[in-house]
Chain A
Amino acid sequence: MTDSFFDFDAALPADEGPPHGLEEDEYDALNDETFGAETEWHEDEWENNHEQLAGHSGVTKSKESFLQQPDDDDEEGLVSGSAAAQLEARLSEIILDDESPSKHKANIAMPPGFWPPIPNLQQKQAARAAGNFPNANPPAIFNQLAAMGQHFPQQQQQPPPPRPTQMVTVRTVEDLERDLRAKSQAQLHQQQHRDGSPLHREGPKGPMDANQLIEMLRVMGTMPENRPQGPPQGHPNPDIVLRLAQNQGKPMMHQPPPPPNGAMMLPPGMRHPHPPPGMHHRLPMNMYPPNFPPHLRMRGEMPPMPWMNQPPMPMHMMHQPPPGMHPHHQAQMMSQQHHMMMQQHHQLQQQARQNGSHDPYAGLMTPKDKQWLINIQILQLNSQKPYVDDFYYTAFQFKKQRAKEKAGERGLRLQRREQRTLEPRAYTPAHFEGSLGKLQVVSVTAPRKIIDMEIMNSDSADAQTPVRDTRKVKQALLELERLYVLVLQLEDLEHPLPEAQQSVTECKEEIVSKILNTLIPAAGAEDKFPSLLSVRKGKVLLLRLFPHLLYSQQTPLWRSLLQNFWIISRKDMQDQVLFEMFPAFREWCAQAVLPNLVEVISVMLPQKSEANPSPSNITPRSPLPAALSNKFGVSIIASIINRAGELDDNSCPPKTHPDWQSWSQFVSTVAEVSCELAIEPSTPLDPLAKPNSLTRFVDNKQSQTLQRLLQIDNKHAA
């Protein structure tokens, strides 16, 4: 173990074992001498010794008695028994070790309890401190301070009894705080009766801990130096210091964001080589005249006072942040910044007032508040994929950039929004002392399922059918939404913006297959195609989908479309979207070979269904009549016939191909149906080009019908 501490002998006395004359077994270390009745201290001896060394009188005794029992009899008759005296004694004890004006600059502002007590050191310090003031003035001053406005003259005549310094410093700070908190109310009443301090209106709002006291003392310490004509140290200094102490509470009132703290009166960062000579005319910022309008004061505004024109921060404190800076100080610095901003605001106000506009409540939201709000908004805009999350803004910026480039400027790249990210904080749920288990806490960053709630749909007996219909439509719409997302992804793959392409994770084939799985039913599965195509959205979906599909993929879709032509055409009366599909069909048809055509028209051929033997060739659900009565349908059929004619002309496949059989069947069916149609068939969009192809398949009469139907130009008639 170290045997020296700052060159002081810190060696512990070695364990001696049994005292001289006693054997080991005869000697009992845990005996009465050590622990029992024999341990009564003979107060006088050590007290006198201590008094000599420490040189102060009566400070310590009251503290000690307070520690033991409040009702302890005071041996020396000096313990008043009142809380005030004890407080004052304790306070003086703190300060005694640390503070002396001449040592002000050298000392670091630590309360005595900060470092572990060192026996010899304390006494030496006390001796030093005491030595500088032979008339025991500091104790008197400190006593007054400690009293905080209580019984000033009385305390001066009651020097507190001496006490061992070591014991005191360990407990001083906590006890002091406790007591101060309890006393804040008492002080409030006390101070109102005092004459010398017109400025106080309320006591300190919060606990004033040792730090504040030390600051007070520092101020007090500097002041005497600059008051050459100042009155004797006794009276006014405590006044000012007390006011300072009181006013420390005020900044706390209008600082919502930083927690209420023992705000230092002045910015610690502000340094001044020496307190300016005129300092004593200036009082700290928070001195308000008694008739100050309270509501204005709440906002930190003040009517222009004569001393406001001087630099707002009276810097009469030289205070270097100590190396081991107390967390209080940091909070105080924040409050200083707020203070500074309030003053800037006040200056702005002055300017505005000079301009003539009178709005004393303007600017309640400081720029800092506004910036905070904007930061929240920016945070919400943060995104790694702006094309996905913020589509409209991104697309707009893209368009603007395109326009700019067209205009000739070589502009900057597409700029994203300003991004601000919170530092990711590990979520730790709140923890309360002494509670079993952890809390269920929910926040935006850490959501938890608190209530198990499911939405139950109530069944209503009435209006079933319309409900069912709407439900079907809604289901179709939902399905379409899903498909639309896939189609959008397909389109994004070809979008000029690289971000858009990157946003799609799957390849084209996968997406297409997903879509087709829904549109083209698997064997035995329910066909959703008619319901989807009944809605306008579905048709538009198909429209947008066709450019991305391979030829072979389109065929089944066309087939399905024709198969369900009844429903689709009926529902299309309002929408009229089918016509827009015609160009796509024409394109498809132009590349069709006979098998494709046959596949498509197969739905329109009479089917020999064993399950449903019907006398007529044409199944009741054959789409042909519907197709012929609808302009779109007629156009489809006409295009098909056209194409077949072309193929026939080119003889591919050769004429003996069995498909031509089905084709001829188809053509005759068409002719038959068109004859039987009750209503006048519509005209196709593309008139039939080569009528002679028809003659191979049908007899003349039918051919004529067809020609009439399909608006064949008679000039070309064979």
Chain B
Amino acid sequence: MNDGSNPTCPPGTATLLEELDKKLMVLLRDGRTLIGYLRSVDQFANLVLHRTIERIHVGKEYGDIERGVFIVRGENVVLLGEIDSEKEASLPLKEISVDDILAAQRREQEAKIMKEKIVSTALKDRGLNMSSELITDEF
């Protein structure tokens, strides 16, 4: 007896309730990518992710870190989307171990800092003072 079937949302509204129990990829404001099953939401779009992995992408490679259960505060989510299991099975990217990917990420970060330094010194030479507060990139 299927009593208490899922209630429907009013027309013209968006809701996360349709994404429950699905495998989602969530992009956070600090740049992290989490992949997990969405178990619960609330009115602030806080998310409860289950069996979550954090996937770090560097170039064409990626690495997964097991994280377990995540509770994400809604304001820190940039976007989220359902993961297509078929497409995930045939990823064009190469999976490498966690240590390798972390090393690669570190190298990428260092390269970015170097580049930023060069750019800012070049601008300074031309009289433009670009302080880091003006740059509002989150990641």
Contact = CB atoms under 8 A, between A and B. Distances in A.
Asked if chains A and B come from one complex, the reply is yes
Interface of A: 341, 344, 347-348, 359, 361-371, 373-374, 376-378, 381, 393, 396, 417-418
A166 to B, nearest CB: 51
Contact of A367 (B4, B9, B11, B21): B4
B6 interface: yes
A367 B10 contact: no
Given A347-B1, A362-B21, A367-B4, A374 B39 contact: no
Contacts of A374: 7-10, 15, 17
A368 B4 contact: yes
A359 B12 contact: no
Contacts of A361: 21, 37, 39, 50
Interface in B87-112: none
Given A373-B43, A378-B10, A381-B10, A363 B21 contact: yes
Nearest to A351: B2
A135 B41 CA distance: 61
B33 interface: no
Interface string B21-45: 1000000000000000101111100
Nearest to B40: A365
B17 A370 contact: yes
B20 interface: yes
A367 B50 contact: no
A373 B1 contact: no
A348 B43 contact: no
Given A344-B1, A377-B13, A377-B15, A359 B21 contact: yes
A348 B2 contact: yes
A367 B39 contact: no
A92 B5 CA distance: 48
A483 B1 CA distance: 60
Contacts of B7: 367, 370-371, 374
A418 B7 CA distance: 13
B104 to A, nearest CB: 33
A366 B3 CA distance: 11
21 contacts: A341-B4, A359-B37, A361-B50, A362-B21, A363-B21, A364-B21, A364-B39, A367-B4, A368-B4, A369-B40, A370-B17, A373-B15, A373-B17, A373-B42, A373-B43, A374-B8, A377-B15, A381-B10, A381-B13, A417-B10, A417-B11
In the A-B complex, the 5 residue pairs with the smallest Cβ-Cβ separation, listed nearest first, are A367-B4, A371-B7, A364-B39, A362-B21, A376-B43
Secondary structure class of chain B's binding surface, majority of residues: loop
Contacts, number: 61
A368 B48 CA distance: 17
Contacts of A367: 4-7
A353 to B, nearest CB: 14
B63 to A, nearest CB: 25
B118 to A, nearest CB: 25
A377 B50 contact: no
Secondary structure class of chain A's binding surface, majority of residues: helix
B20 A377 contact: no
B4 A377 contact: no
Given A361-B50, A365-B20, A365-B39, A377 B6 contact: no
Contacts of A418: 10
Nearest to B3: A344
A366 B42 CA distance: 13
B2 A377 contact: no
Contacts of B4: 341, 344, 366-368
Contact of B10 (A344, A368, A377): A377
Nearest to B39: A364
A374 B39 CA distance: 16
A685 B37 CA distance: 65
Nearest to B51: A361
Nearest to B21: A362
Given A348-B2, A367-B7, A378-B10, A373 B41 contact: yes
Nearest to A364: B39
A396 B13 CA distance: 13
A703 B132 CA distance: 66
Contacts of B11: 417
B53 to A, nearest CB: 16
A377 B39 contact: no
B44 to A, nearest CB: 10
Contacts of B13: 377, 381
Contacts of B20: 365, 370
A92 B39 CA distance: 49
A373 B8 CA distance: 11
Nearest to A345: B4
Nearest to B37: A361
B40 A364 contact: yes
A351 to B, nearest CB: 8
A365 B41 CA distance: 8
A367 B8 CA distance: 10
Nearest to B4: A367
Contacts of B15: 373-374, 377
Contacts of A370: 6-7, 17, 20
Contacts of A364: 21, 39-40, 48
Contacts of B8: 374
A459 to B, nearest CB: 18
B7 to A, nearest CB: 5
Contacts of B42: 373
Listed residue (B1, B10, B37) with the most chain A CB atoms within 10 angstroms of its CB:
B10
A363 B3 CA distance: 14
Interface string B109-134: 00000000000000000000000000
A417 B39 CA distance: 28
Contacts of A366: 4
Nearest to A394: B12
Contacts of A378: 10
A393 B2 contact: no
Nearest to B41: A373
A404 to B, nearest CB: 15
A39 B7 CA distance: 73
Nearest to A396: B12
A389 to B, nearest CB: 13
B126 to A, nearest CB: 16
A524 to B, nearest CB: 43
Nearest to B69: A361
Listed residue (B4, B9, B39) with the most chain A CB atoms within 10 angstroms of its CB:
B4
Listed residue (A341, A364, A368, A417) with the most chain B CB atoms within 10 angstroms of its CB:
A364
Listed residue (A348, A374, A378) with the most chain B CB atoms within 10 angstroms of its CB:
A374
A367 B3 CA distance: 10
Nearest to A357: B21
Listed residue (A341, A362, A365) with the most chain B CB atoms within 10 angstroms of its CB:
A365
A211 B62 CA distance: 60
Contacts of A417: 10-12
A418 B12 CA distance: 11
Contacts of B1: 344, 347
B4 to A, nearest CB: 4
Listed residue (B2, B5, B8, B12) with the most chain A CB atoms within 10 angstroms of its CB:
B12
Nearest to A420: B10
Nearest to B9: A374
A370 B6 CA distance: 7
A317 to B, nearest CB: 24
B12 A393 contact: yes
B19 to A, nearest CB: 11
Contacts of A341: 4
Contacts of B40: 364-365, 369
B43 A377 contact: yes
Given A364-B21, A364-B40, A374-B17, 17 more contacts: A341-B4, A359-B37, A361-B37, A361-B39, A362-B21, A365-B20, A365-B39, A365-B40, A367-B4, A370-B6, A370-B7, A373-B42, A373-B43, A374-B15, A378-B10, A393-B12, A418-B10
